[in-house]
Chains A and B, each alone.
Chain A
């Protein structure tokens, strides 16, 4: 389909190589394994493929058709038109890793700008060219801490209010490390007392404490006491953040975080059923040498002109092989470009506007839903950003189904991950949700209660 060879080309090439037929190039493959019959559907032309994929997609209900209050780690934000327009330039998406800086200055400068924007947003000194997603960035924070203490500290504390998928991935990555203990998120910890219990567990064997800000439930918690307690024991603190929230909230760097990670999807990246997204990873200068992944630095060419290159590459797997701290090879290239354009085109004011809109609308939604009979706010005293938890008198599954009948994706059923939060529903609100949408949600819930 995409091969340009004419019959004549093939003949010329075979002759030049000195063989009779293409099959002669594969004689090193044991004959009994050569040319198997593959059980695949007959090939399609472009028009057929386009129609087939349209047809498959039509079996989905998307957030274009449904009013969505789903968040829990991926958020439906408005994506300015400029982003995809630029991303579709072949010079961006059909290039590869900038190994040859002379012909990759575009990609290199864009990553440099990404690093700068994330440092600014999080209040940190250094940021890499990205990890796969927020969850793997959390696992990489553990790897960094493990390497920082050269394996001498074995305790890793993680708050139960950290995204359950992040915690699952951290455990997957470290399942073969018998000496590493991931603690602090046991069910009996309780959601309300989480912070103090974490502080109480920090000791001189603790390598890392990981918390989320705003936390998985959208709550804004003051981590300053925890960070101070951790530092008193020489323990590193990693904070997972929602980048949108940092438009209005004090950045974790100012609170004293050593590592700031997060899911970059809210920065202009489509939901796309969960990926590709990007994980950002920023640290203080002290940890610069321990950061995994690609880093772009500024330098000069031989004529003294400003130039950008991949730098400190001797940390990485292609040079250190078995001694590298991480096996990561790629970065989320195109996704970091999307995020860079997003932060730039919204700019200083626009970014704050998005953040504030999310905050305000979520508070209006909490007030409206909280007034509906049968629903109460789970954490009424704690400040929150754009996601909140309500306790439902009826089973959440039933509530969600009722909402579905009204073309509403009502939110996330927390009982799936938290037995102690059975019948708790988590609702996310972004700038795309209008006042009328929120009032409609409240009205449908009200109707349901009386049904």
Chain B
């Protein structure tokens, strides 16, 4: 099953894409800077096509099967998004073109800002952050600057629930906040008593994922936000799980001050084998002036004959530019397309079906697998991937065995507060037949765990490779193919 690397495939003298001859008088290359050697591969075009096609076939993907990877919202990525993002008017615009030549792009960004603010119940938005983690950075920087502008330099403590994604504490550390872990109560909510004991005038804020990573909507969310606000803190919403509440609830209306979306989760832009993501941030009124530089606004109002003139503006107290240019524009076109096709009614339908699918699966599995927080869930739920009677079986074994049945494993070993966690997020685009099949396989695996445990321990049996030796990878580091056998000129 091994596919050679492009370096191993190389044959000196073989060519694929060629460039035309130089059509201007040639000048010498800059003296003293001439490159001596560029050992890039030499492969025919068909060779390159087959290589990357064969590699693609070693991947599991949404287009090939069920992908219940919790916290990642692996929903169907509509093909129309790919078509609209490639319209030449979008794809071939340079980011530094004069604003009057990119009114279409600016119109789209302005309206997407509005849509995202409206969906979340906020006052404004930035589309610049390149991913959810960068959205968090934007939020944390805004919170810090907000307190500093009010003279509250001592507000440096950021509360982070123990169920949070690793990016929350990592982001807080980057901006110099002191991270204060917040425990989860037995029902999976923020522990209110602990929260009350941790807030004082050193509080900068709380980073809250709601629904949280257990797939649960915090039953006391209003109270939680009230406690933080009364202590002078701000509430950051990690919007990783927004798919569960689209059109059903607006975090901004509940009291969140700032929230990031992961549009590669919630708004169907492709995950691309690990990225690019896109993490627009929406804010309440009091943080509007702190948004990254620039945002899109109307520069000149339109009239009956002329459309408004859109342009970039700098928010008054901006935290500054967070990346080059204007965000992951190609993904913004996809998200705009998707939201346009859903409207308010379609968004609500997504949340409802995502939550319905998750509860349906939870119900089918909870007798066989331990459900540590036995409540109605939102768009995902977390099971324990182990049993007392077969202690040698771990969540990892269950995950790997699922591969043999042609399904992608759930997220495992996260959140950290659940032992041997299996985090399952079916998404709204999966049919009852797929869910039934998955449930059936999960029950079968539970049975195999008792009858033929080695089937799990040695899984997968039917994948391009067997389990990989991660220790060897970390000890005998090989991070590059050696371009051996290539002509070195």
Contact = CB atoms under 8 A, between A and B. Distances in A.
Direct contact of A and B (CB under 8 A): yes
A311 B470 contact: yes
Contact of A109 (B29, B55, B72): B55
Interface in B23-45: 23-27, 29-36, 38-43, 45
A361 interface: yes
B274 A96 contact: yes
B298 interface: no
A357 B19 contact: yes
Give the contact-size bracket for chain B: 35 or more
Contacts of A309: 468, 470, 473
Contacts of A225: none
A30 B15 CA distance: 64
Interface string B388-409: 0000000000011001000011
Interface in A76-123: 76, 80, 82, 84-86, 88-107, 109-113, 115-117, 119-121
> How many interface residues does chain A have, given as a range?
35 or more
Contacts of B67: 96
A38 B52 CA distance: 44
Interface in B351-372: 352-353, 355-357, 359-360, 363-364
Nearest to A348: B40
15 contacts: A26-B355, A44-B341, A49-B80, A82-B16, A165-B325, A247-B35, A271-B95, A275-B331, A320-B170, A327-B171, A331-B274, A346-B16, A346-B19, A350-B19, A357-B19
Contact of B24 (A50, A297, A360): A360
B316 interface: no
A49 B84 contact: yes
Contact of A330 (B15, B115, B276, B356): B276
Contacts of B64: 90-91
A26 B324 contact: no
Nearest to B218: A28
B302 interface: no
A420 B176 CA distance: 36
A383 B274 contact: no
B166 to A, nearest CB: 4
A99 B273 CA distance: 10
Contacts of B465: 101-102, 105, 301, 305, 307
Given A309-B473, A318-B414, A33 B96 contact: no
B329 A302 contact: no
B480 A347 contact: no
B293 to A, nearest CB: 8
A13 B179 CA distance: 42
Nearest to A128: B479
Given A26-B248, A27-B376, A33-B254, 12 more contacts: A17-B356, A84-B86, A93-B82, A115-B479, A135-B321, A175-B145, A176-B141, A324-B170, A334-B272, A344-B6, A347-B17, A350-B17
B133 A327 contact: yes
A357 B22 contact: yes
Contacts of B82: 88, 93
Contacts of A135: 321, 323-324
A44 B249 contact: no
Interface string A38-81: 11111111100110111011111111101010101110100010
